[in-house]
Amino acid sequence: MEVFTRKRPTDEIFSGHMSLRSWVKESMPSALIEILDSNLLTPAGEDHGSNNQTLDCLSSVMELALNCSVESPHERMSIKDVVAALNKIKIKLLAI
């Protein structure tokens, strides 16, 4: 999540009960574009269709990050499932 948001868990905005994970979770999916590093998005003027597809892939990555960072280790995805999910996202992204 740090890479995709350019925020660290120790940033000043994460004080009290707010954490990087809870901030991302609250922003999903409606405000995702507001928390993502703008450098990851397609530059203005390019095809909006591919931008929407890129945003879908980024949303999938963030959902995966949330699933991998649940509090209980027993509730987290297995690494085998994570790799499979990442490969699906990669294939989708390369098709753009």
Peptide bond into 43 cis (omega under 30): no
- The answer to whether 59 touches 94, Cβ cutoff 8 Å, is no
Q: Residue 42 pLDDT more than 80?
A: no
What is the model's pLDDT at position 40? 81
0.75 exceeded by the pTM? Answer: yes
Q: Residue 68 pLDDT more than 80?
A: yes
Beta strand extents in the chain (DSSP E only): none
Domain that holds residue 84: 2-95
CA distance 85 to 36: 20
What is the model's pLDDT at position 44? 53
How many domains does the structure of the chain reveal?
A: 1
Mean pLDDT of 19-39: 93
CA dist 77 to 41, 52, 84, 92, Å?
27, 26, 11, 21
Rg (C-alpha) for the chain, rounded Å, is: 14
